[in-house]
Structure 1
C-alpha cells in the first residue's frame, strides 16, 4: 500500500472512491486559514464553517485522528503537527490529503458500494410511479436491511433515491403511517395486524411485505438484580419494559412469564418504553428488566447497566420480529414502486443473512445518521460474539438473523396471542374462522413468493408451517385449540 499521501490519493481516485465534491470542499477550506481549522481540537480558532465541516467529517469517521491515521498511516503526523509551526501545508498536498480523508469518511460511513458487495449493478425495474421516497425506521438492529439498503446502494440499484427517516417511537410510526407522512415503514410484525383490525386504534389497512429480521431480542435485567434472577418466577413484582404493546417483545415476554407461573397482567407491570429510552430507565430504577430489541440489550451490558438473562431465540428460534410494511392506499397508488422497494429490501435482507457480511454491515449502520451506537456494540449483536454482563462470553451466530419470507403461520401465532391476552380487545374481534383470512390479507406471502422467484431466489412453496417454540408447538390450523391448551397449562 502506498505510504505517500499523494500516491494514496491517486490510487483512491483510480478505484473510484473519491467523491469529486471533495475537491471544491477542500478548496473552500483552504481559503479559510487551514492550519487553525485542521487543529480544531486545541481551540475554536479559524473559520467556524470550516471547523464545523471538519468536525462533521471527523465525527462520521470516528474522530479526525482515526480518519487521517487510517488514510495515511505513518504519514498522519504530517497533518497533525502543531499549528504554530512556521512552514504551512502545501496547497496541493492538503487538497490531496483532504480528498483522501473525505474518501475515507465516505467508506466509513457508507460501507462498500453494492457492486463491491457482490451485486450485479442496476436492475430493470420498469416504470416507477415515484423514485424519491422516504422510509421510516426505529434505530435498532432489527431495521438492518432497511437502514443498510441506503448507504450500501440497494435502493439505488433498484432505481430509487430513498431517504431513511429516524422515528422516535413505535407510536410515532403508527401515527405517521395513518397520516400518510412517509412512503413506507419499519414496523413490528404485529403492528400491521393490529392496525388493520383496529386494535387500539381506528382501523387502517397496512400490508406486511417482508420480514426484516428473525430472533434478535433479549430479556435484559438491571445489574442491581444480578444473582437474584434465574427464572421466570423471579420476575414477580418487576416493572418490565417492552417497546410497544403490539410487539413480538410483549407477546414473547408474556409467553415466557406465563409458562413460569407469572401472570403478566397481575404479577408484573409491563410498560411500553421507546427503545432509545430503555437504558436510562433501567439505570434510574424505573425499570427492573426489559425485553427490548438490540442493540439496547448489548448496550446495557456495554454501559454496565444490566445483564442479558435470555435471548428470545431460546424461546422461539426463528421467530419474526420486525417487518417492512406500508399502507394499502400507498401500494395501490404506487404498485411498481412498491415492487421495486420490496425487492431492494429482500435483496438487502438476503445479503445481511450471510455471516461474512455482518462486520461490514455493522460499520455501515452504526453511525450517527442511523443507529448512533458504538460499532463494537452493533458488531457484537450482528456477529453473535458477545458478553452477557455477568462475565460470560458467548458465540451465537444466529442471535439475530435475516430472512424476508413472511410465513402465514407467523401471523396466525401473533393473532393467537393477541386473542389470548385480549390486547386491544382482540378476543372479541378475532373469531375462530378469521385467522387464515386475516393472515392472507395482511401478510403478502404470495406476493413475496412471486417477487423472490423473479429475483432468482428459491422461496418456500408452503405458506404455513408448524412452529416449534420452547414450551409448545403451534399448529397454525388450530389456533383456538392452542390458546386453550396454553391457558390450561399455565393456569390463566
Structure 2
C-alpha cells in the first residue's frame, strides 16, 4: 500500500487513515462488511477469537482489560446487559443471579469448574429453552471480549447519558439545586446532609425557593442547575403551558402519595364527601400540580364543577396554614406536612389522604433543562443517581425517624419535628380525635412511570390546562419522562426497578389504561358529566 507523506508533520498516512474502523474490527465501509464476514464463524465466541487471531484488535487494546478489576468488568457487563436488554433477557440474568445466590456467585459459577451444573440448574428453574439460553451465554461472552475494544475509545467524548459517570469525568461538580420546603423534597434535601451528593462526586448547594412560579422562572433563566418540581411541571414548561416554551426533562420522581386534604375545623360536622365542598374556597400550590389535578378529580366525582362550584386558589404551601388560621381558606390540598401542621396548630383536620384517591400516585420530581443536560451529561447522570440513592434510603421505614429530624432543621423544612415524624412514620392524629397508622402515607419510589405522564396529560386536557392539539400522549411521555435512564441508574445502585414503562393505574373512582388516554377522558366525561 502506497504511503502518502505529509511534509509538515512527517507523519505517514495510509488509506486506512481515512477510513473508519468497522465494529467488527476491520477497516472497510459498512456496505463491504458482508464481503469481509463471508466465511467467518457465525458463533459469536468463535468469531471474536478469530478476529483476535487475525490481529484486528491491537495488542495494546487487549491489554487494557488488565487495568480493570474483575469486579469492575462484571459490573459493567451486568449494567450494559440489563440496561439495554429486553424483558426476557433481563429475566434470564435475574434467574442466573438468583440461582447462584448473588452476582459474585453467579460469575464464579458461570466461569468456574461447575458451570455446566449451574447452567442446568438455572434452566430447570427458568422458563427459557436451552437453545435460547446458550445463545445468550455466547452473546454475553462476546460482549466481555469486545469490551476491550470499546475501552480503546474511552478517552474520547463521553457525552452520552448512558455512560457511567465517576468523579473524574464530571463536567461540573459545584451545583445549585432549588427546592420548595416540603416533605416531598426529601430525597433532594437529605442527599446533602447524609452525603449522597458527595458519594457521587458532587458539591451541592440547596436553594430554598418561595413558590413554584419562582422555581419555574429560575429554571428558565438558568439560575439553577437542577430543581425540585411538581411532576406535571416539566410537561407544562416544555409545552409552553402558562409560560414560555422551555424543554425540561423529568429525571426521577421524588415521592409518591404524601398529600392530604385538610379542612378548617369549623367545618368538621359538614364535610363527609366531595359534594359537601360546594361553595368553599380551597387552595392548591400551583395550577400544574398533582394537587390541583387530584382535587379536581375528587370534586368531580361528587358532581361538582371545580371551575364554578368552588373557588380554587393558588397559595404557596408555606402560607397555607396561616391563611386557614386567618379564615381565608376553608380547605387545602397540600403536601402532608402542612395538612399535619393544621392539625398540630389546632385549626384543621385531615379529611383525606391522597393515597386514598390514588395509591402510588406521583407528586414531586427532580428535573433539569434539556439544555443543561446536553451540556453536562455526566454531571446530570451523577446527580440523578445520587437522588435515586437518597430516595432508596428515605423509603426504608427504619430511616424515617432520622429523616424527620434532619428535615426539621431551619435550613431545610423548618417544621416541628413532631409534625414530620407523623408524616414520615404514618402514625398520626387526624384532628378529629383519631390516631391513625398508615405506614405508606408517603413513599419515595423514584421510578418515573410513563403512565404517570399520560394520566397527567389527560387531566390537563380535561380541565382546559392543555389544548387538545398538544396532547400527543405517547410523545410527551417518551420525550419528557426519563424512565430508561432512571431504570439504568437504579440497576447500577443494585436496586430492582421495574422493566415496564407503563402500567394500568387504579384510582378510587376509575381505572386508567395508558394505552388509550383519549378513551379514558371520554369515559370520565360520561361518568361524571364534567
Which residue of 2 is the match for residue 430 of structure 1? 470
Root-mean-square deviation (Å)? 0.9
Q: Distance in 2 between matches of 1:448 and 1:346?
A: 8
Tell me the residue number matched to 2:326.
284
Aligned to 1:69: none
- Supply the distance in 1 between the matched residues of 2:200 and 2:260 (Cα, whole angstroms): 34
For structure 1, the 5+ residue unaligned runs are: 1-122
Is contact 1:126–1:336 with CA below 8 Å preserved after alignment? no
Say whether residues 1:156 and 2:198 are aligned partners.
Answer: yes
Matched-pair contact (CA < 8 Å) for 2:166–2:382: no
* Distance in structure 2 (CA, Å) of the matches to 1:271 and 1:126: 48
Given that 2:172 and 2:379 are in contact with CA atoms closer than 8 Å, whether structure 1 keeps it comes out as yes
Partner in structure 2 of residue 440 of structure 1: 478
* Match in the other structure for 2:175: 133
State the 1:209 CA deviation: 0.2
Q: How big is each residue's C-alpha offset from its partner over 1:39-60, in whole Å with a ceiling of 9 and x where there is no partner?
A: xxxxxxxxxxxxxxxxxxxxxx
1:489 maps onto 2:527 in alignment: yes
1:256 is aligned, of 293, 298, 316, to 298
Selected match of 2:443 from 391, 401, 406: 401
Give the corresponding residue for 1:469.
507
- Between structure 1 and structure 2, the one with the greater Rg is 2
How far the C-alpha of 1:125 sits from its partner, in A, is 4.2
C-alpha distance in structure 2 between counterparts of 1:477 and 1:344, whole Å? 32
- For 2:161, the equivalent position in structure 1 comes to none
- Listed one character per residue, the Cα deviations across residues 100-121 of structure 1 (whole Å, up to 9, x for unaligned) are xxxxxxxxxxxxxxxxxxxxxx
Q: Distance in 1 between matches of 2:189 and 2:346?
A: 27
State the match for 2:342 in structure 1: 300
Matched, 1:411 2:449: no
Shift of 1:294: 2.2
Tell me what 2:252 maps to.
210
Instruction: Tell me the CA shift for residue 302 of structure 1.
Output: 0.2
**Matched residues, number:** 366
Q: State whether residues 454 and 517 of structure 2, in contact with CA within 8 Å, keep that contact through their aligned partners in structure 1.
A: yes
Aligned to 1:35: none
Tell whether the 8 Å contact from 2:257 to 2:361 is kept in structure 1 after alignment: yes
Structural mapping, 1:291-370, within 5 Å: 291-370=333-412
Query: What is the SS of the residue equivalent to 2:169?
Result: coil
SS, match of residue 278 in structure 1: helix
Query: Which residue does 2:242 correspond to in 1?
Result: 200
For each residue in 1:397-454, what CA deviation from the matched residue of structure 2 results, as whole angstroms up to 9, or x when unmatched? Answer: 000001010000000000000001111xx133424xx101111100001111121222
CA distance in 1, matches of 2:331, 2:295: 11
Looking at structure 1, the residues matched to 246 and 210 of structure 2 have their Cα atoms a distance apart, in angstroms, of 21
Show CA shifts across 1:285-329 (max 9, x none): 111100001210000000011100000000000000000001111
For residues 236-255 of structure 1, the C-alpha deviation after alignment (integer angstroms, 9 at most, x for no partner) is 00010000000000000000
TM-score calculated relative to the size of structure 2: 0.68
In 1, the alpha carbon distance for the partners of 2:314 and 2:513 equals 30
- CA separation in 2, counterparts of 1:443 and 1:124? 24
- 1:373-388 correspondence to structure 2 within 5 Å: 373-388=415-430
Structure 2 CA distance for aligned equivalents of residues 360 and 158 of structure 1:
22
User: Unaligned 5+ residue runs, structure 2?
Assistant: 1-164
2:518 is matched with 480
How far 1:124 moved relative to its partner? 4.0
* Cα distance between partner residues in 2 of 1:125 and 1:454: 16
Instruction: For residues 72-125 of structure 1, give each alpha carbon's deviation from its aligned partner in whole angstroms, at most 9, with x where no partner exists.
Output: xxxxxxxxxxxxxxxxxxxxxxxxxxxxxxxxxxxxxxxxxxxxxxxxxxx944
Aligned match of 1:144: 186
SS of alignment partner, residue 295 of structure 1: helix
For 1:223, the equivalent position in structure 2 comes to: 265
- Residues 340-373 of structure 1, C-alpha deviations (whole Å, 9 max, x = no match): 0000000000111110100011111111000001
Within a 5 Å distance, the mapping from 1:20-59 to structure 2 comes to: none
Q: Is the 8 A contact 1:152 1:364 kept in 2?
A: no
For 1:467 and 1:473, locate their aligned partners in 2 and report how far apart those are by CA, in whole Å.
6
Alpha-carbon deviation of 1:458?
A: 1.6
Q: CA deviation at 1:197?
A: 0.7
Alpha carbons 2:209, 2:215 under 8 Å: kept: yes
Q: 2:467 aligns to what SS in structure 1?
A: helix
* Aligned mates of 2:268, 2:498 — CA distance in 1: 43
Post-superposition CA distance 1:115-167 (Å, at most 9, x none): xxxxxxxx944411111111000000000000001111111111111011100
SS class of match (1:324): strand
Matched residue SS, 1:415: helix
In 1: Cα distance, 2:167 partner to 2:520 partner: 43
Cα distance in 2 for residues equivalent to 1:482 and 1:188: 23
Report whether the alignment pairs 1:172 with 2:210: no
Cα separation, 2, equivalents of 1:129 and 1:198: 29
